[in-house]
Amino acid sequence: MKLSDIQDFAWHPDTGATDHMTGNAGNLHSLTPYTGNDGVMVGNDNILLITHIGKATIGSGDSSIPLNDVLLVLDIKKDLSISKLTSDYPLKFEFDGPGFVIKDRITQRIVAGGRKQKGLYIFDGGSPNKILDKDPTVLFSNRFRQVNKQCWHQRLGHPHQKIIDYLHSQKFNTSSQSQLLDVCTSCQMRKSCRLPFLQSDNNISIPFYKVHCDLWGPAPIVSRDKFWFYAIFVDEFTNFTWLFSFRYKYDLFDTFVQFHNYVSCQFDAKIRIFQSDEGGEFAAKAFTDFLTAKSIHH
């Protein structure tokens, strides 16, 4: 087949075609617009646009074979079919030198056939329409799904947006849209260094019923008043926070006693639960004895 040969829109059997395809809308009936993201990848790696889906017929009379879900691809140069034909019907192809026949696999009856023309097999009874076309004829085609960037992000191991854009600009991959990547849950979880907190059903409804404490220090830089350590006390019900500073870690005990007395005097309230980490300053004997004497659960 030469580039200058006259091309036609007759049907050609092609084992590489995953679907029935035609470039001539006149071969089809019951046309419906195609709304999917698929395209047709041809031998030079170009992806051709699918515009419609319809029905067609090979042959005529008793030997006609209906074709369903035929893709209308305006830029394709040959009408292709074989793989889907043998999967839709109990048919088989037999090729020899001068031509081929299509047989019923059960009865062995010949239902259609074709001839060899300039190195290509062609169905008899095809459309007689002919055009002069000097473009290269593509003898391989395959239905190709254009996926979005989110799918490529997952296929390639969740790389950064810039990597996906670079691969797309170099035509290493194809995508059906140019929008930014959606927020990836897997990427967020992978970057998280701690497990999420469990859902808590404990609801505090009384101020100072439960108080949280956190101690930080020594600070990398001493304050103007020579403070190295800082502690916060948080009321779980109101989320109100008190901040205290002191010079030495063991001053935490005296600070908590002052805070306890302040709560009792100013708010007429009692701390029932005191929550902290497992730091040694909270396990000191003076601290634990005070909590026990005041019936505060730690």
- Provide φ and ψ at 196, rounded to 5°: -65, 150
Q: How many Å apart are CA 122 and CA 125, to the nearest integer?
A: 9
pLDDT value of residue 206: 92
Domains located in the chain, CATH noted: 7-145 (2.40.70), 210-293 (3.30.420.10)
Q: What is the pLDDT of residues 89-134, one digit of tens each?
A: 788 888 777 888 888 888 888 877 788 777 777 777 543 333 223 3
pLDDT value of residue 70: 85
How much of the chain, in percent, has pLDDT values that exceed 70?
76
- Nearby residues of 256 by Cβ (< 8 Å), 6 or more positions away: 213, 233, 287, 290
Q: What is the pLDDT of residues 5-31, one digit of tens each?
A: 444 556 777 666 677 888 878 778 888
Q: How many Å apart are CA 179 and CA 149, to the nearest integer?
A: 8
- Provide φ and ψ at 188, rounded to 5°: -65, -45
pTM above threshold 0.75 = no
Backbone conformation region of residue 163, classed left if phi is above 0, alpha if psi is from -120 to 50, else beta:
alpha
DSSP, collapsed to helix, strand or coil, labels residue 246 as: strand
**Alpha helices by DSSP H, the chain:** 83-88, 149-155, 161-169, 185-191, 251-266, 285-293
pLDDT value of residue 133: 34
Average confidence score pLDDT of the chain: 78
Q: How many Å apart are CA 89 and CA 73, to the nearest integer?
A: 23
Give me the residues of the chain with pLDDT under 50, please. 1-7, 126-142
- Provide φ and ψ at 279, rounded to 5°: -65, 150
pLDDT value of residue 177: 53
